[in-house]
Amino acid sequence: MIQTQTAILHADHIYHTFTVANGQPIAALEDVSLALAPGTFTALIGPSGCGKSTLLRILAGLVEPISGQVQFGGLALDRPQRQISLIFQKDNLMPWRTVYENIELPLQLAGIPKPEREQRVAHLLYITGLLGFENHYPAELSGGMAQRVAIARGLINEPDVLLMDEPFGALDALTREQMGQELLRIWATTQATVLMVTHSISEAVFLADRVLVMSPRPGHIIREVSIPFTRPRGIELLTDTTFTQLAAQIRAAIH
Amino acid sequence: MPKPTVKVWMEEGVHSAIFAQQAVVGVFKLPQVTCLCCAIGLPPVHPNVHSTQKGRLLMSSITSTQVVSLSSQAPRPLPFWRRWLRKIEWRLLLLPVIGLLLWQGWVLLAESGYYADFIVPHPDTVWARLQERWADGSLVTHIATTLREALSGLFIASLIATALGYIIARVKIFDYLLTPYLIFLQAIPIIAISPLIIIWFGSGLASKVVIAAMITWFPMMIATIVGIRNVSTNLREMMRANAATHWQIFRHLEIPSAMPELLGGLKIAVTLSVVGAAVGEFVSAREGLGYLVMYGRGISDTPTVVLAVLMLTVVSLVLYSLVAMLETSLLSWRKAGKP
Ligand SMILES: Nc1ncnc2c1ncn2[C@@H]1O[C@H](COP(=O)(O)OP(=O)(O)OP(=O)(O)O)[C@@H](O)[C@H]1O
Ligand SMILES: [Mg+2]
């Protein structure tokens, strides 16, 4: 377990309950504690509806938990911060903004001057393979391209913490692998701390330093698996025996 | 040492980025890219790059370079008036046909002898009235008066109605408290109480502005409420996650998102504002197209009545078309992704 003091983002005994329209309470999270050490890559995996998105919203400062506390850089997190970037499960693009303008949005909100915005957007268009599409509207993109725009938007602020909610969910297997490697490459050049929700066990093992497994609702972290592979990691890792063993361990924990 | 690769990416005069070894070196506009191409000894192969003059050396650090890819150029969009013409061409062809049919029908009716001239005036008489009133400048005065009344009323109503609509859409307690009373206000038949308004506000500009405002505020308010309520909660959350301020959410999310509804409301309101001004003028006025209708009726000069009604229609049409044009330019993104 990572020491609380060194963690950049730290959740302490989080409980969260929703009240649905008919008044019935739904316990989404039950006693979730986790600590993210600076510069690490953590994957979060768990059955559908177990509260992963809810946990990410809480960690982003968007939702206040019923009980428990989130600390960011040693201070209680009471509202969203620019240094924490959340990439949503849905792409959440503005249909009236072009690809370029959608990616530019966080910089605009942060008051970055236009010339610098241009440079950074151009760079991200390049990394996400969206060059030539900057003047397209979201309605003119495929699902995977829209998701790439959302990823570019999440990265543009050069955040300290990157929370990703199934960012590759809308991508096909091939692009998914490519984007995963791309993400690792981008991540290696930043000092960002990453927490990524995924449904793919092999993706989790391939990308992360540590995989957290959640129980069905109410969500609770039931297993923590460290991934020992060194970086940079190549695609050949997927056939490594340790890799398959780790994947099997995680699969067993989920079921 | 690996050979530096330069990627020149060009897109319709907007942003052009120069990439060297996967890092962006700079973003340039098209003429500068031309200069760059010349500087690094490349022909400006791009069809849109005409200038071949040797310009400043933009990136002296790049020595041995090669253009890896030049993204293909989207066709230059037609100028707006050509696109506009393209769209309405066939309707323009129809215009003389319909115009001629209406005119001939009117002429036939007037010349049939069944109707006295003060019931169905001959178009020529109406045309003569138009020329008279154009020559002495009174037509322009009447149009200007009605326009001023209608637009002032619409402006004031829009300010109040959008502000009210916004707080009603955003703050539950205002919705709960105010909505019933506002509906009550709207239920008052404006045409019926216009004499009262004239009594209270006099027979000058003020009373017409009040009537035009009273007839237009409701559609504007409803449009605002619907528009603001329709703002996606997911996008709101995304804005909040990016630590957007209330003002930024208003400016970058709520306004553009509600724009289709707002413009729809404005389309209704703008034609109603002319109705409002005319109704006020019917009751009591010294100038304006509504006044001209009543004046013509008073002296049994039906051609003047017809002329005034036609002018009211034209004013309404022009105002509506202006809003429709505004809509086309502001909401061009809605055409995206549709066949
Ligand atoms: N706004 C809400 N109101 C009421 N209940 C909610 C709300 N959001 C989530 N829930 C409930 O909380 C539980 C956890 O939801 P959450 O979206 O966090 O799941 P998840 O793990 O992200 O699922 P998935 O993998 O399918 O995205 C769900 O069972 C859902 O019923
Ligand atoms: Mg989810």
In this structure, the number of other CB atoms found within 10 A of the CB of residue B225 comes to 24
The whole-number pLDDT of residue B218 equals: 94
Chain A hits for B331, Cβ within 8 Å: 96
Q: For residues B44 and B102, which has the higher predicted lDDT (pLDDT)?
A: B102
Cβ-based burial of A228 (10 A; exposed 0-12, middle 13-18, buried ≥19): exposed
Contacts of B60 (CB under 8 A, 6+ apart): none
Mean pLDDT in residue range B163-191: 92
pLDDT digits (tens, 9 = 90+) for B238-272: 999 999 999 999 999 999 999 999 999 999 999 99
Mean pLDDT in residue range B47-57: 30
Cβ-based burial of B181 (10 A; exposed 0-12, middle 13-18, buried ≥19): exposed
Provide the pLDDT confidence category of residue B47 given band limits of 50, 70 and 90: very low
pLDDT digits (tens, 9 = 90+) for B122-151: 888 999 999 999 999 999 999 999 999 999
User: Hey, what amino acid is at B226?
Assistant: V
Does ligand 1 have an atom closer than 6 angstroms to the CB of A18?
Answer: yes
Decide if pLDDT at B44 tops 60: no
C-alpha of residue A52 to centroid of ligand 2, in Å: 6
The domain locations on chain A are 1-83+198-255
The CATH fold of domain A1-83+198-255: Rossmann fold (3.40.50)
Q: Which ligand sits nearest to residue A58's alpha carbon?
A: 1
Q: Which ligand sits nearest to residue A18's alpha carbon?
A: 1
The token pair at B217 is 């505020």
Does ligand 1 have an atom closer than 6 angstroms to the CB of A50?
Answer: yes
Contact A140 B17 (CB under 8 A): no
The domain locations on chain B are 6-61, 119-336
The whole-number pLDDT of residue B150 equals: 97
Provide the pLDDT confidence category of residue A62 given band limits of 50, 70 and 90: very high
- Cβ < 5 A residues, ion ligand 2: A 53, 89
Mean pLDDT in residue range B57-69: 33
Provide the pLDDT confidence category of residue A239 given band limits of 50, 70 and 90: confident
> What does the alpha-carbon distance between residue A56 and residue B294 come to, in Å, rounded to a whole number?
69
Provide the pLDDT confidence category of residue B88 given band limits of 50, 70 and 90: low
Closest-CA residue of A relative to B234 is: A92
> What does the alpha-carbon distance between residue B15 and residue B17 come to, in Å, rounded to a whole number?
6
Task: Please report, for residues A31, B73, B161, B226, B256, the alpha-carbon distance to residue B169 in angstroms, rounded to integers and kept in the order given.
Answer: 37, 45, 12, 8, 16
Provide the pLDDT confidence category of residue A3 given band limits of 50, 70 and 90: low
Does ligand 1 have an atom closer than 6 angstroms to the CB of A109?
Answer: no
| DSSP letters spanning B169-216 | HH-HHHHHHHHHHHHHHHHS-HHHHHHHHHHHH-SSHHHHHHHHHHHH
Contact B27 A88 (CB under 8 A): no
Does ligand 1 have an atom closer than 6 angstroms to the CB of A16?
Answer: no
Closest-CA residue of B relative to A89 is: B234
The whole-number pLDDT of residue B259 equals: 96
In this structure, the number of other CB atoms found within 10 A of the CB of residue A69 comes to 14
Q: Which residues pair with B20 in a beta bridge?
A: B6, B23
**DSSP 8-class letter at B68:** E
Closest-CA residue of A relative to B12 is: A135
Say what angle helices B172-187 and B138-170 make with each other, to 10 degrees: 140
**Ligand 1: which residue has its CA nearest to atom 29?**
A49
Decide if pLDDT at B85 tops 90: no
Decide if pLDDT at A45 tops 80: yes
First to last CA, chain A: 23
- Class (C level, CATH) for B119-336: mainly alpha
Mean pLDDT in residue range B323-330: 92
The whole-number pLDDT of residue A58 equals: 95
Decide if pLDDT at A63 tops 60: yes
B11 in reach of chain A (CB within 8 A)? yes
Contact A80 B19 (CB under 8 A): no
B75 in reach of chain A (CB within 8 A)? no
Q: Which residue has the tokens 């969206």?
A: A130
ipTM of model: 0.91
Contact A109 B242 (CB under 8 A): yes
C-alpha of residue A50 to centroid of ligand 1, in Å: 7
**Of A52, A56, A57, A66, which is best to mutate to test ligand 1, by the most ligand atoms within 8 angstroms of its C-beta?**
A52
The whole-number pLDDT of residue A5 equals: 60
Mean pLDDT in residue range A235-255: 89
C-alpha of residue A210 to centroid of ligand 2, in Å: 20
